Structure 1
Amino acid sequence: MRSIRSHIDSLLGEHKAELNAMNLAVAHSLGRYKVKFNPEKIDTMIVQAVSLLDDLDKELNNYVMRCREWYGWHFPELGKLVQDHQAFAKVVKTIGMRQNAINADLSGILPEELEAKVKEEAEISMGTDISDLDLIHISGLCDQIIELSQYRAQLFDYLKNRMTALAPNLTCLLGELVGARLISHAGSLVSLAKAPASTVQILGAEKALFRALKTKKDTPKYGLIYHAQLITQAPAKLKGKMARKLAAKCALATRIDALADESKGAEVGMECRAGLEAVLRGEQERGPKKISGTSHKHEKYHFKR
């Protein structure tokens, strides 16, 4: 074997450099096959976009809570009146010191009644005074909140467009966010298409599943699809049943989106969604099953002795 290895070039009649070039060409071909870069169906962009969206939500939540707590020392009533985070940051940026609330124009941010209420509360506020330096840093934090909120809206629009192009049927059934999270959790659209309906149903609840199997308790009925509109609007007793039906339709829709030769749009997804909504309406109209009659009307059976 050692002799064969040492004289392999002369035995094959090919130069070593040519073999290296052939190996490189084969490696490039395999690489292109694995990547399959298709500009119309790039599920990697979906995975990155939904992950960034979740990170932005966490950052925004931290920033807003910090801003509300910080400015709350100066104007605590404002946090209770204005619930929207972006509107709160814009109001703080516009007002500055609460003494300026009377002369501030908030018509472009708040409704007329709420604007009058804010100005009224600013006059009788029980907050403490803050310095100009404190207000500068609070205003800077408000700028960050407004910019992140605007970028999040742009990113969400981008995600909606990508999901509509990549998986229109899955998007019709679950919505953009839930569908994107399923693709991200599975790794790719093709990987999600290979999963059976039972896996799609509990995707995202793996920890609860393994814990239930270990403790021999009931397994979870749903994972990420719990946040889909068809599940959230269903009554508590029908959530498990609707989760099974929705997971089956999602498995079908995902395979059509990932493996169909010709794109048919969202026709299958719309048909499946209409069918599921009809099932849900029928179950709600039917109501819980009742056993006719009462126990005292029927004579109990007695065993003969």
Structure 2
Amino acid sequence: METLGGTRLARLFNERQNELLGEWVPQQYAIASRRGGVTEVQLRDQFVQFVAVVCAALESSDRVDFKTRGWDEVRGFLADVSTQRARQGFTPVETAMFVFSLKEPLFARLRVELAADPATLAELTWTISTLFDAMGLYTTEVFQTSREQVIVRQQQELLELSTPVVQLWDGILALPLIGTLDSARTQVVMESLLQKIVDTGAAIAVIDITGVPTVDTLVAQHLLKTVAAARLMGADCIISGIRPQIAQTIVHLGVNLQNVITKATLADAFVVALSRTGKSVSGAGAHGEAPGAPGPLRGNQFAGD
């Protein structure tokens, strides 16, 4: 975009700034007030900064080209505004209106000043249109990139929150899983579990899949990888939450869990874990006697045996 009129547009901005501000702020505040977090004072400050950087770029050359280095500061300012609005919950259209809502006030003043010079009016109108369209599209591009980054970060945070590793007892960890296991989530699960094993020196880790809706070959392979990684760190794993339907599915799929201890419930797995670590939980009976400690591990357990 290379058209004449940069210095003239800069003069128009400078001379009519208060008038433009008076029309631009109410429009922007009507949009911003629906989202919250943006005050009228902040909008005025943003407008003043925007006009300042645009005028500096316009005055640097009589040719208006938003893609040149002379507009770096404008692009930086618009990128900051777009990123901030993406985090505040604005839509792409509402963000682009930060730029587009200035077009009509500018056109109105040009029509008054250049009523006797239609050729110059047409040229400057075209210059404003192409310049502001380029700036508006740029805000949309930055907004989409920022929104994608926010979504990715939220997904990562949800993955971390959905894979908590808790210490049930001295030397015993539990990892309750809820939802479907995929490769990305398995990696987070594995990293969280291994780090917790390092931090606590745990010897047993119970992986509870009660909240996993289905177990197919891929999910089973992910579980086996996690078990193998934990073993390399010196910790044995017990898989709990093996419901009848999942047990049948695993058998039909031919998944080999022969070397993995499995139990029907987390409570059953906890009893086995206590036995493996030489610990027991006792409580007062009806006449004060304590029940016996859990029995020793009986080889491979499957589906609540």
- TM > 0.5: no
TM-score (norm 1): 0.23
Q: Which has the higher helix share?
A: 1
TM-score (norm 2): 0.23
Structure possessing the higher relative contact order (Cα contacts under 8 Å, 6 or more residues apart):
1
Q: Which has the higher strand share?
A: 2
